Amino acid sequence: MDAARWANEWGVNAGDRVAVAIAPGTGLGLAVDGRSTCLDGDDPSAIVAELEATVGPRWCWWDRSTADRLVADGVSVARCWDVLTVHRLLRGGWRASVAEAWARLHDLPLDRLPVEGQLDLLGGGDDGDADEAVRPDGYLRPDWIAGGWASSPERVAAWAAVVDRVVAMQHALIGQRPDPARTQSTAHAESVAEFLCAELTAHGLPFDTAEAQRIIGDAVGPRALDERSEEVARAERDAEVLRHVGPGADYDLRNPADVKALLRRASIDVPDTRAWRLERLADAHPVVPALLRWRKAERISTTYGYRWLDEHVHDGRLRGAWTSSDGAAGRMTASAGLHNLPAEMRPAVAADDGCVFVRADLGQIEPRVLAAVSGDPALVAATGEADLYAPVADRLRVERDVAKVAVLGAMYGATTGESAHALRGLEREYPTAMGFLADAASAGQRGDDV
């Protein structure tokens, strides 16, 4: 049966859920509402591409590996449902597996998850039919999870049926939420974000290598030929700072304590050497702007220099591994320093010919989102400033850095330390926003959606 005939006979329309299992050389497993089949074909991704173009369903799969396979085969989809991504949304946490997601949905103890090759010394020894995805004890077979599902068309169809069953169970859980439509919309968005991350990982960003080499060269000089020449260049950069405090200066600019001592020699006493604090003192002594320039050059040299180019830029593309949410903050992350690319390096990220690069500034995004969702008028007013923390600091009568720590601490649950006093000021000056955070925290503690 070809793809078009299958979609017509099964009544699949745009946006309908279609569970999929891709097994190159074996076929394409498809499942819809409890029915499953395997379409023959050496290139199952091509079948997905055909159905995407002619029908446009919502593709459902276990995890990122299917997205990676499709992207590698040049296939993009508009709608998808990633089981493990939705599992994290519903259950929380980051670490997840096919075995765990299945077990949690079926209320099976996680400490008894079977492992491939494990001998069941305590059980009765009845492992059931090896051609069934589910064992008699209710767990998924580890050998199927490890790839055994792809060994025959029958197994491929059965694996798609398992995905179909899991997605239906996740939809049932979403239906029990206080706002099912909103939760489902989030599940759709997070799944597509994970697919976009697969595309970003594979395709990378368009990158002008010549421009990057020029930027690096302006900051740290030409590419070092060996370790000795690299050490010489490093010493020369250090000397450009040390010369401003007189002869005999011997300070390690990479040691914060030494930097503070260096500044004291120039009659500048500061509690710390953070960039924003030093920028305010740029006119106090020539060593300060020299130190700020050195820091930018040092960052490029150590993190975004020639070695970084060699490791992450190939064929005019800057590549790193992208994920839609990390374990700590629950937000999109990327390796290769892509999230912290220095402003000086950003001109090297340039659109391909015939394309336009659309840039969105996400600076201070957390408090700006808080202002939008809470509707706190005072915080909304602060978002009109280029630096949101400055008006907040003015209202709280504290330094900007303290205000920033207080705002982020309130959002991430840090309520002690130097920002504790400022936190009380936030509750006084921004009661609507702080009340919104308190309600969200209570909802999370109850296990409700946040």
Beta-carbon contacts of residue 112 (< 8 Å; ≥ 6 apart)? 137, 139
Give the pLDDT band of residue 122 (cuts 50, 70, 90).
very low
Beta-carbon contacts of residue 314 (< 8 Å; ≥ 6 apart)? none
Topology adopted by domain 3-202: Nucleotidyltransferase; domain 5 (3.30.420)
Residue-wise pLDDT tens digits, 333-386: 899 999 888 989 999 998 988 999 887 777 899 999 999 999 999 999 999 999
The answer to whether 270 and 281 are in contact (CB under 8 A) is yes
Spatial CA neighbour of 204 closest among 58, 341, 301: 341
Residue-wise pLDDT tens digits, 218-253: 999 999 989 999 999 999 999 999 999 988 888 999
pLDDT of residue 437: 94
Q: What is the mean pLDDT of the chain?
A: 92
pLDDT of residue 93: 77
Give the pLDDT band of residue 85 (cuts 50, 70, 90).
very high
3-state secondary structure of 96: coil
Residue-wise pLDDT tens digits, 397-408: 998 988 998 999
**Mean pLDDT across the stretch 115-132?**
69
Domain ranges of the chain: 3-202, 204-359, 365-446
pLDDT of residue 26: 96
pLDDT of residue 168: 98
pLDDT of residue 41: 84
Beta-carbon contacts of residue 147 (< 8 Å; ≥ 6 apart)? none
Percent of the chain's residues with pLDDT above 90: 77
Cα(95)–Cα(242) distance, integer angstroms: 48
Give the pLDDT band of residue 420 (cuts 50, 70, 90).
confident
Residue-wise pLDDT tens digits, 42-67: 899 999 999 999 999 999 999 999 99
pLDDT of residue 188: 98
Residue-wise pLDDT tens digits, 302-327: 999 999 999 999 999 999 999 998 76
pTM of the prediction? Answer: 0.84
> Which residue is listed with tokens 């974000």?
193
Q: Flag whether pLDDT at 123 surpasses 60.
A: no
pLDDT of residue 418: 63
Cα(407)–Cα(276) distance, integer angstroms: 17
Question: Exposure pattern of 98-107 as b/e (b: 16+ CB <10 Å)?
Answer: bbbbbbebee
Residue-wise pLDDT tens digits, 278-290: 998 999 999 999 9
**Mean pLDDT across the stretch 110-123?**
73
pLDDT of residue 124: 47
Considering the domain delimited by 204-359, tell me its CATH architecture. Up-down Bundle (1.20)
The answer to whether 27 and 49 are in contact (CB under 8 A) is no
Judge whether 3-202 and 204-359 match in fold.
no
Which alpha helices (DSSP H) does 56-178 contain, by range? 64-72, 83-91, 98-105, 142-145, 153-175
